Amino acid sequence: MRRREFLKHTAKVTAASVAIPAVIDGYPVKAFANSPLLSALQGAATDNDHVLVMIQLFGGNDGLNMVVPLDVYGKYQAARTNIAIPEGKVLPLQGNIKTGLHPAMKGIQELYDDGKVCIIQSVSYPSPDYSHFRATDIWLTGADSDKVLSTGWGGRYLAEEYPNFPEGFPNTEAPDPLAIQIGSLVSPMFQGPAASMGVAISSATDFYDLIGEAPTNDPPLDKHWGVELKYIRLIAKQCDKYIDSIKLAASKVTRQGAYPDTNLANQLKIVARLVAGGLKTRMYMVSLGNFDSHANQTEAGDTTKGFHADLLDQVSGAIKAFMDDLTQLKASKRVVGMTFSEFGRRIRSNGSMGTDHGAAAPVIVFGDYVLQGVLGNSPTLPDTSTVADNIAMQYDFRSVYASLLEQWFCVKQEELENVLMKDYQRLPIVSGIACGLITAVPDVRDAGINYITNYPNPFVEKTYIKYTTKGGHTMIQIFDTTGRLVTVPVSKVHVAGDYTISFDAEGLPNGIYYARFQNGSISQVRTMMKVR
């Protein structure tokens, strides 16, 4: 059996079963020798010590109640009469009258007002999948919805950066785990082309017992499976060294700030301790579950309370404590964090005071070098919504990945397409100072500018779409209310100027369609209605 085949059939041993619990503060920690973003990170490791912290919100977070659209509040309230957050209770954001936060998110509000938060509106991908498992897989691998990838977007990058891993690791240039996941299984995001590029560490004793390395029963290497056994022993030695480096980093931090007594806060407290302790790990993954809010999302008598409010309070409080802790530990400038969920929820609430699986949702990015602001417009909401209506996508989630890779990990533009498989638009998320240069990504906060319109609207069979491009690659995508990509009438390089195309909807059902315009870092959505 070749090593590649052996690893493929023994993934549970090398990636999931090898565990060393209670490494720090009695909390199970899993260290990965590589990760998707890590590869990007490692690629720039000689130039900076930047760290990315990914916060995964399992279950499909209701972004419309998390980031409330104040400028279309009437439509929002009409669509969610039984769960809408009262307008007077929405937390305002400094310098932004269109958008507010759920009242449970005071910590994020404070960070935003301090200039350390960027909110990216309506993040999704064309033709989204509403299965928790498949949608999660898409986010972690960076796949299109009609393709299944066997590699994670980070694993692909790491495979390029470390083609000989695990042999020769750890070493003087990479002495620590390249990525660490806390309290969860190995993520598909770390899967490389040949095998999982990550290893979970939980107990040195359990690990060596698992592989049977004790001299009394240590099998010889001259058997037909000797090469594979030698490989497992190599991983075992790496785990031992990585655990030592984790313990060493943790020992350097003896005092931390106050954290809420929640699961997510406990995870982030460990991350802060390791970052401040000097661990050269480039990427961390933490998570929080139970966001699948089909029923009783809020309390009947007070929609600002309920289990969704409790979850948002955990997220907000944990992130605020984490950033405060890093600041007093003088390590905050090393970190950028990001929240994400496998999908959002529907526009209209259901009769059970909940929301069903939906499409786009906001992403929150935070850190000292993050550019403060809200990217994109408030979600486009119909005058009269149905339970089938979804929030239209403004930004592809892979654009967020590409932006962080380029602006935080300083990955060169020509390398991004190898990792993400396409050239996705970049957004102004992180200050150019972070990579010691200006990334040439323009600001996208062009208030009041309509880059795309159509007439007539409503229309019977045909409408004319007018758009204004600043030049360069320009794209128009047409989506239905489920998020399904209907057609792409424009996708080419333009000279700056005004253009008009016709959209023939003959044969399409009557109803609402969304025309999404993209030009450079700019995205905008236009609602079109087909009638009889």
* Degrees, nearest 5: CA angle 240-243-248: 130
Q: Which residue has the higher pLDDT, 441 or 365?
A: 365
Do 281 and 178 contact (CB within 8 A), yes or no? yes
CA distance 417 to 478: 24
Query: Does 51 score more than 70 pLDDT?
Result: yes
Distance linking the first and last C-alpha atoms of the chain? 64
Q: Provide the pLDDT for residue 215.
A: 38
State which H helix or E strand residue 236 sits in. helix 226-251
Q: Provide the pLDDT for residue 437.
A: 53
Q: Provide the pLDDT for residue 37.
A: 42
In tens, the pLDDT along 70-85 reads: 999 999 999 999 999 9
- Residue of 92, 113, 53, 120 lying closest to 325 (CA atoms): 53
Helices (H), 463-512: none
- The residues near 58 (Cβ < 8 Å, ≥ 6 apart) are 132, 136, 287, 288, 289, 290, 291, 341, 342
- The residues near 398 (Cβ < 8 Å, ≥ 6 apart) are 125, 142, 153, 420, 422, 424
Q: Which residue has the higher pLDDT, 295 or 449?
A: 295
> How many CB atoms lie under 10 A from the CB of residue 194?
17
State which H helix or E strand residue 480 sits in. strand 472-480
Do 526 and 452 contact (CB within 8 A), yes or no? yes
What is the chain's percent helix, strand, coil content, to nearest 5?
A: 30, 25, 45
Domains (ranges, CATH) in the chain?
3-435 (no CATH), 452-530 (2.60.40.3080)
Q: Provide the pLDDT for residue 416.
A: 86
Do 480 and 486 contact (CB within 8 A), yes or no? yes
For the chain, the maximum distance between any two Cα atoms, rounded to a whole number of angstroms, is 82
Indicate the pLDDT class of residue 409, thresholds 50, 70 and 90: confident
In this prediction the pTM is 0.84
Q: Which residue has the higher pLDDT, 115 or 234?
A: 115
Q: Provide the pLDDT for residue 515.
A: 95
Helices (H), 395-478: 397-407, 413-420
- The arithmetic mean of pLDDT across residues 64-69, rounded, is 98
Strand extents, DSSP E, 76-217: 91-93, 96-101, 117-124, 179-182
Indicate the pLDDT class of residue 218, thresholds 50, 70 and 90: very low
Q: Provide the pLDDT for residue 32.
A: 44
- The arithmetic mean of pLDDT across residues 405-422, rounded, is 87
Question: Which one-letter amino acid corresponds to residue 451?
Answer: Y
Indicate the pLDDT class of residue 226, thresholds 50, 70 and 90: low
> How many CB atoms lie under 10 A from the CB of residue 222?
6
Task: Label residues 126-157 b or e (16+ Cβ within 10 Å = b).
Answer: bbbbbebeebbbbbbbbbbbeeebebbbbbbb
In tens, the pLDDT along 238-291 reads: 666 777 888 888 889 989 999 999 989 988 998 899 899 999 888 888 899 999
- The arithmetic mean of pLDDT across residues 360-370, rounded, is 97
Q: Which residue has the higher pLDDT, 213 or 392?
A: 392
Q: Provide the pLDDT for residue 339.
A: 98
Query: Does 233 score more than 70 pLDDT?
Result: no
Query: Does 3 score more than 50 pLDDT?
Result: no
Q: Which residue has the higher pLDDT, 5 or 222?
A: 222
Indicate the pLDDT class of residue 442, thresholds 50, 70 and 90: low
Query: Does 214 score more than 50 pLDDT?
Result: no
- The arithmetic mean of pLDDT across residues 106-112, rounded, is 98
Tell me the backbone φ, ψ of residue 524, rounded to 5 degrees.
-150, 145
Q: What is the dihedral angle through the alpha carbons of 172, 247, 51, 54, rounded to the nearest 10 degrees?
A: 130
Task: Give the chain's mean pLDDT.
Answer: 83
Q: What is the dihedral angle through the alpha carbons of 129, 135, 138, 141, rounded to the nearest 10 degrees?
A: -170
DSSP secondary structure letters along 214-235: SGGG---TTSTTHHHHHHHHHH
**48-52, 213-217, 351-355, range with greatest mean pLDDT:** 351-355
Query: Does 377 score more than 50 pLDDT?
Result: yes
Q: Provide the pLDDT for residue 234.
A: 60
- The arithmetic mean of pLDDT across residues 19-38, rounded, is 44
Q: Provide the pLDDT for residue 17.
A: 32
Query: Does 519 score more than 70 pLDDT?
Result: yes
In tens, the pLDDT along 145-203 reads: 999 999 888 777 777 776 776 777 778 877 878 778 887 666 787 777 775 665 443 42
Q: Which residue has the higher pLDDT, 454 or 8?
A: 454
- Residue of 484, 443, 378, 329 lying closest to 66 (CA atoms): 378
How many angstroms from the chain centroid is the CA of residue 437? 24
Residue 198 class from Cβ within 10 Å (0-12 exposed, 13-18 middle, 19+ buried)?
buried
Residues of the chain with pLDDT > 90, as a percent, come to 60
CA distance 256 to 260: 12
